[in-house]
Amino acid sequence: MTVPAALHDACPPSPSAATAPLAGAYARMSAVFPGLGVRQLADGEPLPRGAGWVAAADLAAGGAALDAFLAWDSAQVLQDYGQQARRDVVASFGLHRYAWPACLLVTVPWFLERRVPRLPVEDVAYQRTRGRMAVRVRGFACLPGDPAAALPAARVVADEDALRAEVRNAVAEHLEPVLDGFGPRMRRGRRALWGMATDEIVEGLWYVAHLLGEERRAMAELAALLPGTTRPYVGTAGFRELTGPAGEPLPTRDRASCCMFYTLRPEDTCVTCPRTCDADRVRRLAAPD
């Protein structure tokens, strides 16, 4: 479960969001993961600017805002590892640090409340160094019988299958232009980019659900969400189980994409990387915290 290193100092939800249909889910997430705070903007309220904020639409445009965003990643690599990363590796790190929390904007309210917001890039801004996101929710999907179904912004769908399709479509709507912005800097084809998007959906919710004490349910939900036949996503959720030294079950997964960290530390792969053998996974997963 890979977490972007720069998510911390989250802000609480704004008081005006107290009755919003997604506020409860975002508050529950921030309570267990203070590294990410989500503020829902009021109708007509502009996205925050300055003070480290970047609009998702500006990242998608692939211009000066993206250059500045990736300059932070380049400097961070140099500070942390004492070497300069390749340009495509820096872009991969930067995409991960944006897409991981961005996917949670959709997957967390689905997982906790069965409500799925539509969040095009024009309605999201990110403050990376403080772990904050601002969103304008114009509409959301929900199930019949949801108390929020009577709200003007609600769109009721038939069942759980239809709601899963809403999750996939909402994430794709948000990430596709972002991938277009980052893609030219990453030296990856469309399949590899969507493999990365698949990993961000799975690993973000898996991590937050673990903090909530609902890891097993999240694994089952994610397996149903990403069965391997849902384009543009690549592969399944990829979960499997290993056995620890005392016979204990050790959940793991195989990533659909490579995070490129091996280019900095070839001997130190991620625990979910296909390059990491099962023996190493067992050793690392069974080690005391």
Q: What residue has token string 């107290």?
A: 18
Report whether 180 contacts 60 (CB < 8 A).
yes
| 46, amino acid identity | P
Report whether 30 contacts 12 (CB < 8 A).
yes
pLDDT of residue 107: 98
pLDDT of residue 266: 81
| Residues sharing a CB contact under 8 Å with residue 122, sequence separation 6 or more, in sequence order | 55, 56, 57
Mean pLDDT taken over the chain: 91
Sign of CA dihedral 162, 205, 55, 115: positive
Q: What's the pTM?
A: 0.92
Give the DSSP H/E element, type plus range, for residue 219: helix 215-225
Report whether 163 contacts 141 (CB < 8 A).
yes
Cα of 174 vs its chain's centroid, Å: 11
Least reliable range by pLDDT among 7-16, 139-148, 169-178:
7-16
Mean pLDDT computed over 196-210:
97
The yes-or-no verdict on residue 10 having pLDDT over 80 is no
pLDDT of residue 97: 95
The yes-or-no verdict on residue 149 having pLDDT over 80 is yes
